Structure 1
Amino acid sequence: MRTIVTGAASGIGRAVARRLASDAARAGEDLRIALLDIDASGVDDLARELGPGALAVQVDLGRDASLVQAVSTALDHLGGGLDGLVSNAGVISPAPLKDVRAEVWDRDFSINTRACLRLAQECYEALRGARGSIVVTASVSGTHPTADVGAYCSNKAAVSMLARQIAREWGPDGIRCNVVSPGSTFTGMTRAGLEKPGVMERRGAQVPLGRVGVPEDVAAVVAFLLGPDAAYVSGADIPVDGGWTAALMPKVSTVEA
Structure 2
Amino acid sequence: MFRNIKDEAEAINIQNKLNKLIVINNNFDFKGLKRVAGVDLAYWKVSDIEYAVCCIVVIDSSTEEVLEKVYTVSSVSFPYIPGCLAFRELPLVIETVSKLKAEPDLYIFDGNGYLHPRHMGIATHASIYLNKPTLGVAKSYYKIQDVDFTMPENHKGAYTDIIINNDIYGRAIRTHKDVKPIFLSVGNYIDLETATEIVNRLVSTESHIPIPTRLADIETHRIRTMYKNVGTSSANNQG
- When normalised by structure 1's length, the TM-score is 0.32
- When normalised by structure 2's length, the TM-score is 0.33
Structure with max Cα Rg: 1
> Which one has a larger percent strand, Structure 1 or Structure 2?
2
Structure of higher RCO (CA pairs closer than 8 Å, 6+ residues apart):
2
> Which one has a larger percent helix, Structure 1 or Structure 2?
1
